[in-house]
Amino acid sequence: MSSETRPRYREESPFKIHGGCGLMGLCDESGARFSGEDAIQAMAVQHDRGNGLGGGFAGYGIYPEFPDHFAFHMMYHDIRAKEEAEAIFDQYFLVDLAEPMPTRPTKGIGEAPLLWRYFLTPDPDKLEAAEMSAEDFVVHHVMRINSTVDGAFVASCGKNMGVFKGVGYPEEIGHFFKLEEYEGHTWTGHNRFPTNTPGWWGGAHPFALLDWTIVHNGEISSYGINSRYLEQFGYKCTLGTDTEVAAYLFDLMLRRHKLPLALACKALAAPLWRDIDRMAPEEQAVMRSLRAVYGPGMLNGPFAIVLGFNGGMVALNDRIKLRPLVAARKGSRLMVASEESAIRAVMEPDTTWMPKAGEPTVARVEGMEWPIHGDLHLPASEISCAVTGTNTSCDSVEVS
Amino acid sequence: MPTSFIQPEFKVKIDYDKCHKCGRCVQQCGWGVYSFNERPIPDDSKCKACHRCVTFCPAHCISIEKNNLAFKDSDNWSPSLRKAVWKQADTGGVLLTGMGNDKPYTKIFDHLVLDACQVTNPSIDPLREPMELRTYLGRKPDHVAVESDGAGGFKLAEGAGMSNNVKLETPIIFSPMSYGSVSLNVHKSLAMAAEHLGTLMNTGEGGLHADLYPYQDNIIVQCASGRFGVNPDYLQRGAAIEIKVGQGAKPGIGGHLPGEKINKEVSTTRMIPQGTDAISPAPHHDIYSIEDLRQLIYALKEASGYKPVGVKIAAVHNVAAIASGIVRAGADYVYLDGFKGGTGAAPQIIRDHIGIPLEIAIAVVDQRLREEGIRNQASIIAAGSIRSSADAAKAIALGADVVAIGSAALMALGCHLCQSCHTGCCSWGLTTQKPELTRRLDPEWGAERLVNLVHAWSHELQEILGALGVNAVESLRGSRERLRSIGLDEQMNKILGVKPAGL
């Protein structure tokens, strides 16, 4: 039953994927919505940061007509995969709208999978019988589709948001998906430069689970220990990409360990001991414990990350800033990008600055909920599986 | 009849044309090789090839050569086996030796290579960028719990945060060597160096001499089966306490320090009568199983005001399960001593044939603790022939938090690995209590050499981390992805959790 034309993660995973990338994030903190054109523009000027093997965007606030529905963006290899996935939707969800993703033929975009979107709510009876929160229920079924329906992949499944990604340059992908027709308060974008050629649409960034997405530029030199650390908590890192460990580490610290975002960022991009030694005693005690406890989770090596979610976004650099990240503000708009040119392509900023190594740049949309996550109670292995779409992730590893 | 069939192992050659006839070799040799009759006359049979005379000969006229006696070929009966049989036929005794296993087992460290960054991620220059080696030894909580400090920041929640941990500025510590087996000057050198380096020395099982009290914050005090020198004051002085269950050079074997080495100072420090043999039983007679160990761990914590308590074991077949039990019993660290670890004295048959390689022990223990979700509850100290900073880096990549060095430290002080520590005649004044020999080591000079060695290795570790593109040692710890093996079989790769080079 394995797919003939579309490489699966399984074929990627034995090799760690190396690569550089470009990224952007743009958030209007007033909650005002704007079209995806700015995001496309910002990525277009960073064209040379990718090699045409992956581009993508995430938009938040783009489905105001369905604010409480889980918006599923699906990729299907064939009709059979679509039918199998839809059977699951029909059985466990109320489908309020199912339609092909609006796209247009675009030069540079090769053969695309079947792209559909669905606005779903969990079937109340099934949800009650499952004794799960709605978020758990959704993740559970995402995992099920990714791992058991051959040729189907859930690109995103959050409320009032969506991920648009594929194989191509990001400006081509944005054009293909008609992003100028969507309006959102937060957009992130990514341009991929993988040094191998998996050429699979699902492998592009952003990676998403529920409403949180991650775009990432860099290589985590500490991947080996990060993944082993996560395995201790039940996560299975099968994808072989650094982005995956970053996503799980955020999940572990923010949701399961309930760390404040500021401290989670300090754990991932830890301050130097010599700086900790100079802190006030109470702060020092926090930071010393944080580093000692989360040392195996520290992301070491060059990276810039933008974490997107319904309340805004967080951009973070590695601890000695080995990858570019520029930030700017114009009025209520906060923007980050790999290059300042990307910012100036879409706005004439009031101020620009270089976020310091390990200092998170946070955009928070007015009036929206914080913190980041819904109420997930699923074991980490199911979360791993939902993100990566591999069967092997689902082997139960009852650890903690 | 000949008294022995055994011929001298070495030949001492003196170039009498160059010899000053000064007699310094006579004075320097602890083994009594030389007599003097107008010129020094060597007795080859006593030479241990420790090079003390060679080093101090002002004329550089002494050379030590192997006595290359031909033996009829037999791959099965090596000359050393034949000599062992002859010696035992002479004496009827167990053959004793010192230092570590010298048999040609596979040196796994030499089959592992490290990674480096090229293009896709940058390597880091430790001469220009910070490169952190600081390591905390001890138990870490599962997670950090914080609460608002009321001023927009956060403070640790009540009872959260790291418990008592020992801060190390480099992941290299000195391994336990008891006062008695080594001289007080060796202990002083180690203690002074540990303080200077921000790391630890370890008393071994012989107690803590009063001269070392000023350095107590950099000393692990050991509690072994003989309980020598153990009292509440001793426990409260140490930075951490170590229960010694086993030693890599002699797993399952106790210790025996002969009465001749128990002089007044050793007797006071060990709390035993002068001139009596100091015998450490093979097991702790209050630890016959894991639940007993738990009681001792907590008794020592109670007695010391909850200092970190570690457990030192020899690497043996079932080491992963044993280590797991030790962690669950409440230990703050597990000290794994591989089968190449050194000793002041051990039966040769035990030293050379019991235990498993350190590399395997680290790999299986680290993996087991992770599988059980308790890796954070204890640090792993790896020891047993860490020969260079490369060995240290590989041990850390396999999963160790800290490495301990004993033989290398002694070598910095003059040891030439002549494997004769048990004789008590060490010409370098290290493993002896004879005052005319021990005074050969000036503790300040010794400390400086130890500091140099550990500094050099630490700088090399920084270079390795920089090449790997990480700037903190915790990003290498357990990161087996950065190791590859060459020439190990598939099963061994699996056990080590390391891919072969090329994958």
**DSSP assignment of B406-423:** SHHHHHHTT----S-GGG
The confidence score (pLDDT) of residue B372 equals 94
- Asked about A21 being catalytic, the answer comes back as yes
For B322-357, the pLDDT digits (tens) are: 999 999 999 999 999 999 999 999 999 999 999 999
| Per-residue pLDDT in tens (0 to 9) along chain A, 400 residues | 333 333 344 434 434 444 568 999 999 999 999 999 999 999 999 998 988 888 999 999 999 999 999 999 999 999 999 999 999 999 999 999 999 999 999 988 888 999 999 999 999 999 999 988 888 899 889 888 887 888 898 999 999 999 999 999 999 999 999 999 999 999 999 998 876 545 678 878 898 888 889 998 888 889 999 999 998 888 877 666 777 788 889 888 887 888 888 899 999 999 999 999 999 999 999 999 999 999 999 999 889 999 998 889 999 999 888 899 999 999 999 999 999 999 999 999 999 999 999 889 999 998 887 655 455 666 677 766 666 655 544 443 333 2
Is A295 within 8 Å of B156 when comparing Cβ atoms?
no
Closest chain A residue by Cα to residue B124: A301
CA separation, residue A343 to residues A212, A228, B48 (Å): 23, 37, 75
**What ipTM was estimated for this complex?**
0.88
CA distance A123 to chain B (A): 36
**DSSP assignment of A168-218:** S-HHHHHHHTTGGG-EESEEEEEEEEESS----GGGSSPEEETTEEEEEEE
Which chain B residues have a beta carbon less than 8 Å from that of A276? none
Q: Candidates 3.90.1150.10, 3.30.1150.10, 3.30.70.360, 3.20.20.70; correct CATH number of B135-500?
A: 3.20.20.70
The confidence score (pLDDT) of residue A196 equals 54
Question: What residue spans of B120-241 are helical by DSSP H?
Answer: 184-197, 232-237
Q: What are the extents of the domains in chain A?
A: 19-388
Q: How far apart are CA B235 and CA B103, in angstroms?
A: 38
Q: How far apart are CA A352 and CA A216, in angstroms?
A: 21
The SS3 call for residue B191 is: helix
**At CA A248, angle to CA B148 and CA A191, rounded to 5?**
110
Calculate mean pLDDT across residues B174-192: 97
Q: Using the structure block, give the residue that is written with the tokens 């982005």.
A: A243
Residue B261 pLDDT > 90 = no
Which CATH number is associated with domain A19-388?
Answer: 3.60.20.10
Is B475 within 8 Å of A273 when comparing Cβ atoms?
no
Which chain A residues have a beta carbon less than 8 Å from that of B478? 224-225, 228-229, 296
Q: Among residues 162-221 of chain B, which lie with CB inside 8 Å of chain A?
A: 162, 165
Closest chain A residue by Cα to residue B145: A259
Question: For B7, left (φ over 0), alpha (ψ -120 to 50), or beta?
Answer: beta
For an interface test with B, which of A13, A49, A226, A228 has the most B Cβ atoms less than 10 Å from its Cβ?
A: A228
Closest chain A residue by Cα to residue B117: A221
Q: How far apart are CA B304 and CA B14, in angstroms?
A: 57
Which chain A residues have a beta carbon less than 8 Å from that of B464? none
Q: Using the structure block, give the residue that is written with the tokens 């990480």.
A: B470
The SS3 call for residue A33 is: coil
Residue B32 pLDDT > 70 = yes
Residue B182 pLDDT > 80 = yes
Q: Does A296 touch chain B (CB under 8 A)?
A: yes
Report residue A250 as tokens. 């955020």
Q: How far apart are CA B428 and CA B104, in angstroms?
A: 27
Nearest Cβ partner for A232 among B134, B160, B373: B373
Q: What are the extents of the domains in chain B?
A: 10-96, 135-500
CA distance A10 to chain B (A): 16
The string over B3-35, giving b where at least 16 C-beta atoms fall within 10 Å of a residue's C-beta and e elsewhere, is: eeeeeebbebebeeeebeeeebbbebbbbebbe
Which CATH number is associated with domain B10-96?
Answer: 3.30.70.20
Is B161 within 8 Å of A295 when comparing Cβ atoms?
no
CA distance A149 to chain B (A): 30
Q: Does B125 touch chain A (CB under 8 A)?
A: no
Nearest Cβ partner for B162 among A229, A288, A400: A288
The confidence score (pLDDT) of residue A330 equals 96
The confidence score (pLDDT) of residue B258 equals 82
CA distance B402 to chain A (A): 14
Nearest to A55 by CA among A195, A175, A162, A161: A175
Is B124 within 8 Å of A282 when comparing Cβ atoms?
no
Nearest to B43 by CA among B89, B85, B12: B12
Question: Which residue of the set A21, A237, A385, A394 is catalytic?
Answer: A21
Is A273 within 8 Å of B132 when comparing Cβ atoms?
yes
Q: How far apart are CA B276 and CA B478, in angstroms?
A: 46
For B92-108, the pLDDT digits (tens) are: 999 999 999 999 999 99
Q: Does B146 touch chain A (CB under 8 A)?
A: yes
Which chain B residues have a beta carbon less than 8 Å from that of A263? 144, 146, 154
What lies within 8 Å, CB to CB, of B408 at 6+ separation is B386, B387, B453
CA distance A51 to chain B (A): 14
The confidence score (pLDDT) of residue A240 equals 62
Q: Among residues 188-247 of chain A, which lie with CB inside 8 Å of chain B?
A: 195, 218-219, 221-225, 227-229, 231-233
The confidence score (pLDDT) of residue A11 equals 39
CA distance A113 to chain B (A): 30
Contact between A342 and A46 under an 8 Å Cβ cutoff? The reply is yes
Percent of chain B with pLDDT over 90: 92
Q: How far apart are CA B221 and CA A258, in angstroms?
A: 38
Name the DSSP class of B363: H
